[in-house]
């Protein structure tokens, strides 16, 4: 009766009993004959499950998949930085070479070309400045030469035995006045020529000088030739100064404010050896001319030896009215004699003997002599010719 109270009495049976298992569907609809519990597939599945292996293969491990993903898709920061650095280095080197090689002009004028251009312009300007300084020094040296010529002449006259005492004072005063200006010029010249020009840069300065001189020569038909010639000569002197290291060394060895007469003379003569200007030529001619003042002083002394009252405030027996110095070094003097007796000719004869005995004159001859007399005084006129000795008179 107990089983009759339940609707599905068979559900209480354990599943492992020997009877076929039943369920609601089988009870209602009967057994499903389409299912085949003993099929081959079920057997295979059961065998694989017993071995602990899935029929569909091993399930991939999550850890391995994650590692593969990291290895495949994650980038290396160190490698990337190295690549960027190498690329930047290549670009930098390329830019450096392109800007520092004068032959590289793909992008126009680069830094190297600009540097070369600026360096060339700087060299040209430096050469021009040096030429201007040496030209200024050449002009100052012309002034120095003129002042030194006057100064040395004054000094020589002030110390000459043939110069009268009052003249010595005048010459000494003139020399004292000229010397300060002379030393100032010397200091200015030293300043202009103080730079030592490297041999590698000297040629550029000389080339600038030559170009300027050639440009002036091309204008000979367009301007005053005399002025143009002087400018060209000044440039030639400038060119000589540029290359004359010996002269510049001599200048630098002298203390301008304390220069002695010997040093002034040394610079004066050294400059004339390199000077191409007309001033130098004139000065050189002046140096070769005889010092006629010395000859005149000597002539006065000789006449006084014959007549002690000559050229004094007292009347004497001899006068010299005319003296002529000729270019062929001949000299002619003429004058008169005054005596209370007939010794006029004796005076002239004594004068001829004194002139012949002098170190300054030779070949002395009486060209003419005449005498007139009255009751009070006898007068006579004379003319004497002679020649200068070869080297009797110092040159100026």
Average pLDDT estimate for 234-250: 89
Residue 128 has pLDDT above 80, yes or no: yes
- Mark 242-275 as b/e (b = at least 16 C-beta within 10 Å): bbbeebbeebeebebeebeeebbeebbebbbebb
Residue 346 has pLDDT above 80, yes or no: yes
Burial (0-12, 13-18, 19+ Cβ within 10 Å), 292:
middle
* HSE (side-chain half, CA atoms, 13 Å) at 369: 15
Alpha helices, H only, the chain: 24-29, 40-51, 62-73, 77-100, 111-159, 165-192, 199-217, 225-243, 245-252, 261-274, 278-288, 292-306, 344-357
Residue 343's nearest CA partner among 375, 317, 364 is 317
The β-bridge partners of 157 are none
Phi–psi pair at 349, nearest 5 degrees: -65, -40
CB 32 within 8 A of CB 25: yes
- Mark 202-233 as b/e (b = at least 16 C-beta within 10 Å): eebbbebbeebbeebeeeeeeeeeeebeebbb
Neighbours of 189 (CB within 10 A): 24
More reliable by pLDDT, 100 or 365 = 365
Average pLDDT estimate for 301-322: 86
Going from the C-alpha of 204 to that of each of 106, 137, 243, 266, 325, the distances in angstroms are: 32, 19, 12, 30, 51
Q: Is residue 65 very low, low, confident or very high in pLDDT (cuts 50, 70, 90)?
A: very low
At residue 64, the pLDDT reads 47
Residue 285 has pLDDT above 70, yes or no: no
Residues of each domain in the chain carrying CATH 3.30.70:
292-388
Going from the C-alpha of 65 to that of each of 72, 219, 376, the distances in angstroms are: 11, 97, 164
CB 22 within 8 A of CB 10: yes
Residue 361 has pLDDT above 50, yes or no: yes
Length of the chain in terms of residues written: 396
At residue 16, the pLDDT reads 46
Burial (0-12, 13-18, 19+ Cβ within 10 Å), 84:
exposed
Q: Is residue 47 very low, low, confident or very high in pLDDT (cuts 50, 70, 90)?
A: low
Please work out, in degrees rounded to the nearest 5, the angle formed at the alpha carbon of residue 394 by the alpha carbons of 388 and 396: 115
Question: What is the CATH architecture assignment of 292-388?
Answer: 2-Layer Sandwich (3.30)
Average pLDDT estimate for 183-193: 94
Phi-psi region of 109 (alpha: psi -120 to 50; beta: other; left: phi over 0): beta
CB 163 within 8 A of CB 171: yes
At residue 140, the pLDDT reads 93
User: At a CB cut-off of 8 Å and minimum separation 6, what does 351 contact?
Assistant: 302, 303, 306, 318, 382, 384
Q: Is residue 59 very low, low, confident or very high in pLDDT (cuts 50, 70, 90)?
A: low
Average pLDDT estimate for 341-355: 85
Average pLDDT estimate for 283-299: 66
Residue 307's nearest CA partner among 341, 359, 348, 342 is 348
Per-residue pLDDT tens for 203-230? 999 999 988 888 888 887 666 677 787 8
Q: Is residue 109 very low, low, confident or very high in pLDDT (cuts 50, 70, 90)?
A: low
Sheet of 361-373: strand order equals 318-325, 330-339, 378-388, 361-373
Per-residue pLDDT tens for 191-202? 999 988 888 888
CB 286 within 8 A of CB 149: yes
Q: Is residue 180 very low, low, confident or very high in pLDDT (cuts 50, 70, 90)?
A: very high
More reliable by pLDDT, 169 or 3 = 169
Average pLDDT estimate for 275-294: 57
Lowest average pLDDT, out of 8-12, 181-185, 361-365, goes to: 8-12
Average pLDDT estimate for 262-268: 93
Residue 384 has pLDDT above 60, yes or no: yes
At residue 201, the pLDDT reads 87
Q: Is residue 281 very low, low, confident or very high in pLDDT (cuts 50, 70, 90)?
A: low
């Amino acid at each position: 009766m107990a089983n009759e109270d339940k609707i599905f009495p068979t559900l209480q049976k354990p599943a492992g009993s020997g009877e076929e298992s039943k369920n609601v569907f089988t009870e209602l609809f009967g057994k499903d004959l389409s299912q085949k519990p003993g099929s081959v597939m079920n057997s295979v599945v059961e065998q694989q499950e017993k071995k602990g292996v899935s029929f569909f293969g091993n399930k991939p491990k999550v850890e391995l998949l994650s590692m593969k993903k990291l290895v495949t898709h994650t980038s290396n920061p160190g490698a990337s930085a190295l690549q960027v650095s190498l690329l930047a280095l290549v670009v930098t080197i390329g830019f450096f070479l392109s800007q520092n090689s004068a032959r590289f002009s793909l992008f126009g004028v680069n830094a190297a070309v600009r540097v070369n251009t600026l360096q060339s312009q700087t060299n040209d300007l430096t050469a021009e400045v040096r030429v201007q300084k040496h030209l200024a020094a050449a002009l100052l040296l012309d002034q120095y030469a003129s002042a030194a010529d006057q100064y040395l002449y004054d000094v020589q006259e002030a110390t000459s035995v043939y110069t009268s005492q009052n003249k010595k004072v005048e010459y000494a005063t003139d020399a004292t006045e000229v010397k300060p200006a002379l030393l100032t010029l010397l200091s200015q010249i030293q300043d202009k020529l103080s730079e030592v020009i490297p041999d590698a840069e000297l040629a550029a300065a000389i080339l600038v000088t030559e170009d300027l001189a050639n440009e002036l020569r091309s204008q000979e038909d367009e301007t005053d030739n005399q002025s143009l010639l002087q400018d060209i000569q000044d440039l030639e002197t400038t060119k000589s100064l540029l290359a004359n290291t010996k002269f510049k060394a001599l200048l630098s060895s002298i203390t301008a404010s304390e220069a002695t007469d010997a040093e002034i003379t040394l610079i004066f003569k050294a400059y004339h050896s390199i000077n191409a200007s007309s001033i130098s030529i004139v000065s050189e001619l002046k140096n070769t001319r005889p010092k006629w003042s010395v000859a005149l002083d000597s002539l006065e002394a000789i006449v006084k030896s014959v007549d002690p009252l000559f050229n004094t405030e007292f009347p004497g027996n001899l006068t010299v009215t005319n003296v002529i110095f000729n270019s062929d070094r001949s000299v002619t003097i003429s004058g008169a004699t005054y005596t209370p007796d007939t010794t006029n000719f004796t005076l002239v004869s004594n004068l001829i003997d004194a002139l012949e005995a002098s170190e300054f004159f030779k070949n002395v001859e009486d060209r003419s002599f005449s005498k007139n007399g009255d009751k009070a005084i006898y007068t006579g006129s004379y003319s004497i010719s002679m020649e200068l000795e070869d080297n009797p008179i110092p040159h100026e």
